[in-house]
Amino acid sequence: MGLRRVAIVGAGLTKFMRRAQETPKELAYEAAKLALDSCGLRLKDIDSVTIGTAPDAFDGVHRKGEFLADGSGGFGKPTMRHYVGGGTGCFSPTHGWFHVASGMFDTCLVVAEEKMSCAFPHPAGAFLTIFDHTTEQPLYPTLIWIFAMEMNRYMNTYGIPKELIAKVSVKNKGNALDHPAAQVAEKITVEDVLNSEVMAYPVNRLDISPVSDGAAAIVLAAEHVAERITDKPIWIDGMGWNLETSYWCTRDLAYPDYVEKAARMAYKMAGITEPHRQIDIAEPYDPFSYKELHHMEGLLLCGKGEAPQLLADGVTERTGRLPCCPSGGAMGVGNPIAATGLMKVIEIFLQLREEAGARQVPGKPRTGIAQAWGDLMQVGTVVVMRR
């Protein structure tokens, strides 16, 4: 394509928390600083900055990109914000990739931050205005409704029992026990999930990721620079993103077609023809338990309606053939929206470098994928990484 190869060379995170004392820019700073330190760079070594953050309504602050810019090392530099709702964090590497692959910059600091805790009575209320203001808002929808209805359609279409879906929470909250940033890591059982209070049938409390504050950051570098910075660069080899209709009632709610389109775009770029064989490790977006399964199918890691069985068979455990959300995911580590997607990218980065510590999957994984999803259940963002 006449473009330069781009590597991730450094990564940083904050803890993920229900309510952080730090301001958004302080959180961004902590993640960005750790990312720079992790690869021995200083801010002066960074040519450009991209910032990912989701709805302004969480913070009640407009121009959130500029608001976060000093914490993200962005003052006095070519700085840009990107935003595709919950899909933001896995779009962040793509945004940075353009800066570096194009040849305009040799290094780019990519920062994703979310502080959800400022909105009252509950940050879920900030989502009211994602619905159509005339045809839907007067019915006072909550975001949980559309998840519940999508989950119901998914279960009904393929005859999936709730017990199989609950196992996503069990696996991911368990995996998160080994994650240093984890907010809601715990050892639970399928019964705990099924017995937790019903929020909106078929969604129980333990099917939902928590409200979180947190930040994540990575450092990108062009090939010739990356190899000076680290002997373990992780290459961004494929990217895809796709936007489906806002007329969400019209969509096939049982299958995320837009995730498939995004995945196919990323696979084509990465030369992947058989994703279920060629991908060693995956971080599908899991803001709700069923979404991990929904997204595994959209990512073509298995056939439609087959993901619950793979989960039941242990295939997606850390020790399985296709580990999914070895980090603990949004369900376990927490879900500061934009930062979650980038946390997933960082997990793949660490796993491919064999630096994931107690979370390390066996078998020296070579190819990994991270995916996020968002807006009105309509955007898929995908990144394929290799060592």
Partner 1 sequence: MELKKEMLRGTQLSESDFRAGKVITTDWKPELHYAWDNGVGIGYYLAQLKAGKITASFCNKCNRIMLPPRAFCELCFKPTDGWVDVLDTGTINTFSVSLVDWAARRIKKGERPHTPAVIEIDGASPGHGMLHLIGEIDPYEIKIGMRVKAVWKKPEERTGSITDILYFKPIREPKASRKK
Residue type, 361: V
- On whether the CB atoms of residues 16 and 344 are closer than 8 A, the answer is no
Cα separation of the two ends of the chain: 21
How many CA atoms within 13 Å lie on the side-chain side of 88? Answer: 30
| Minimum CB distance to partner 1 smaller for 135 or for 189 | 135
Residues that bind partner 1 (CB under 8 A): 11-22, 27, 30, 34, 38, 60, 121-122, 124-125, 128, 131-136, 138-142, 144-145, 148-150, 152-153, 156, 180-181, 197-203, 213-214, 245, 247, 249-253, 346, 350, 355-357
Taking the complex as a whole, how short is the minimal distance between the CB of residue 78 and partner 1, in angstroms? 27
Across-strand partners of 52? 82, 112
Tell me how far, at minimum, the Cβ of 114 lies from partner 1, in Å. Answer: 12
Q: Which is nearer to partner 1, 275 or 332 (CB)?
A: 332
Report the residue number, 10 or 323, with the smaller CB distance to partner 1. Answer: 10
Minimum CB distance to partner 1 smaller for 117 or for 278: 117
Closest distance of CB 120 from partner 1, Å: 9
User: Residue 363, SS3?
Assistant: coil
Nearer to partner 1 by Cβ, of 63 and 122: the residue is 122
- Kindly write down the DSSP assignment for every residue of 57-113, as one continuous string: HHHT-S-HHHHHHTTTT-TTS-EEEE-BTBTHHHHHHHHHHHHHHTTS-SEEEEEEE
| Smallest separation (angstroms) from partner 1 to the CB of 242 | 15
Nearest approach in angstroms of CB 271 to partner 1 is 29
Beta carbon nearer to partner 1, 227 or 354:
354
What is the helix (H) or strand (E) element at residue 372, kind and residue range?
strand 367-374
* Complete DSSP assignment for 300-325: TSS-TT-HHHHHHTTTTSTTSSS-B-
Q: How far apart are CA 11 and CA 29, in angstroms?
A: 13
Distance of closest approach, residue 126 Cβ to partner 1, in angstroms: 9
